[in-house]
């Protein structure tokens, strides 16, 4: 490669700076001592500082994030290990906490030696709000799909409808156990009339839930087993020994009353 003239080098540097200034997110470069050697226009605009006020300053003094001066710092990893690193953190700007996603890459010289790092910072405030809304909606949906209801004094019922996967089974167990503690219930009815199909995984989830309730001092009754589900359980060779099962929810409720030493008396109208 032919040697470039000073004018050509200056032209190349200006072109690179113009390119980086077109990026609508903050960009900074530091040396191995983590001293800032470059920031683009967007960074200066957000920081509300001139380049002369930023040049040579430690990056953690200018960009105040939760990862700064810690082992979680991606810039530190990029420089020390020579690899790309990305992460999420929070940056304090004018008293406000801003969620960010940032990427750090090592800067190398012509010989491939790391001489510093380059970092791109993205403001993900709107993305974080959207993700939080999704989490809230997901939590609401899970609660609606696993409503543990206090049916009687000391009796809970959980009607299960739809598909039972590992995540839902775990949430069902947490919901049931928490409700047992809150209500001091002695019986829980797990009604699976709305479950169209049962395989080995679903059966194992149900068995784990019944065993967990026993550890809490609460008896579990499994109701709503359809003929098709019962046949599937037998064909799969699933051991349901020790699990109290009833055909219908009403039968399960009568069994719950019996466990609590309660009797249902029908009073004839006079």
| Per-residue pLDDT reduced to its tens digit, 96-149 | 888 999 999 999 988 889 999 999 999 998 888 888 887 776 665 565 556 888
What is the reported pLDDT for 188?
A: 95
Q: pLDDT band for position 78 (50/70/90)?
A: very high
To the question of pTM greater than 0.85 for the whole model, the response is no
Which CATH number does the domain 6-127 belong to among 3.30.450.20, 3.30.70.120, 3.40.1010.10, 2.60.120.10? 3.30.450.20
Please count the other Cβ atoms lying within 10 Å of the Cβ belonging to residue 154: 17
CA distance 115 to 113: 6
pLDDT band at 254, cuts 50/70/90? very high
CATH, domain 142-259, list 3.30.450.30, 3.30.750.24, 3.40.640.10, 3.40.50.720: 3.30.750.24
**Above 70 in pLDDT, residue 83?**
yes
Q: Are strands 187-194 and 219-223 parallel, antiparallel or unpaired?
A: parallel
Query: Is pLDDT of 252 > 90?
Result: yes
Which residue did the predictor score with more confidence, 33 or 94? 33
257-265: Cβ within 8 A, 24+ apart: 257/152, 257/155, 259/186, 259/187, 259/219, 260/154, 260/155, 260/186, 260/187
Output b/e per residue, 98-132; b: 16+ Cβ within 10 A.
bbbbbbbbbbeeeeeeeebbbbbbbbbeeebeeee
pLDDT of residue 147: 80
Strand boundaries in 6-138, DSSP class E: 27-31, 36-39, 85-93, 96-108, 114-123
Kindly state the percentage of the chain with pLDDT values over 90: 35
Pairing relationship of beta strands 36-39 and 187-194 according to DSSP bridges: unpaired
Listed in order, the ranges of the chain carrying CATH 3.30.750.24 are 142-259
The predicted pLDDT at position 146 comes to 67
User: pLDDT per residue over 208-224, tens digit each?
Assistant: 889 999 999 999 999 98
pLDDT for 202 beyond 50 = yes
The whole-number average pLDDT for the span 262-268 is 76
Tokens of 42: 């967007």
Q: Tens digits of per-residue pLDDT, 138-194? A: 665 565 556 888 888 999 999 888 777 777 888 888 889 999 999 999 999 999 888
**Residues contacting residue 197 through CB under 8 Å, at least 6 positions apart:** 229, 232
Using 50, 70 and 90 to split pLDDT, how confident is the model at 61? confident
Q: Which residues of 232-270 are buried (b: 16+ CB within 10 A; e: fewer)?
A: bbeeeebebeeebbbeebeebbebbbeebeeeeeeeeee
Which tops the pLDDT comparison, 142 or 42?
A: 42
CATH 3.30.450.20 domain range(s) in the chain: 6-127
- What separation in angstroms does the CA of 109 have from each of 37, 84, 180? 15, 16, 65
Using the predicted structure, report yes or no on whether residue 4 has a pLDDT greater than 70.
no
Q: What share of the chain is helix, strand, coil (3-state, %, to 5)?
A: 45, 25, 30
Lowest mean pLDDT among 13-27, 196-210, 234-248: 13-27
Tell me the pLDDT of the chain averaged across its residues. Answer: 84
> What is the rounded (10 degree) CA torsion for 156, 162, 167, 173?
10
Give the model's pLDDT for residue 1. Answer: 42
């Amino acid at each position: 490669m032919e040697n470039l003239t000073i004018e050509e080098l200056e032209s190349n540097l200006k072109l690179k700076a113009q390119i980086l200034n077109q990026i609508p997110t903050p960009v900074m470069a530091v040396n191995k001592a983590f001293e800032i050697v470059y920031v683009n226009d967007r960074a200066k605009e957000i920081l509300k500082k001139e380049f002369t006020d930023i040049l040579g300053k430690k990056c953690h003094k200018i960009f105040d994030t939760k990862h700064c001066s810690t082992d979680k710092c991606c810039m530190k990893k990029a420089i020390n290990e020579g690899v790309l690193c990305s992460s999420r953190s929070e940056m304090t700007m004018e008293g406000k906490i801003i969620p960010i996603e940032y990427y750090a890459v090592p800067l190398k010289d012509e010989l491939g030696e790391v001489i510093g790092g380059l970092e791109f910072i993205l403001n993900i405030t709107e993305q974080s709000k959207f993700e939080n809304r999704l989490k809230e909606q997901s939590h609401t949906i899970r609660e609606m799909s696993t409503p543990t209801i206090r049916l009687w004094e000391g009796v809970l019922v959980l009607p299960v409808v739809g598909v039972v996967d590992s995540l839902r089974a775990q949430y069902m167990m947490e919901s049931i156990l928490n409700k047992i503690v809150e209500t001091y219930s002695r019986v829980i009815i797990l009604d699976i009339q709305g479950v169209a199909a049962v395989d080995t995984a679903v059966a194992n989830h149900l068995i784990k839930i019944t065993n967990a309730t026993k550890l809490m001092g609460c008896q579990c009754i499994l109701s709503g087993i359809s003929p098709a589900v019962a046949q599937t359980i037998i064909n799969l060779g699933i051991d349901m020994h020790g699990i109290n099962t009833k055909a219908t929810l009403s039968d399960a409720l009568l069994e719950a009353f019996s466990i609590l030493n309660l009797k249902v008396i029908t009073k004839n109208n006079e």
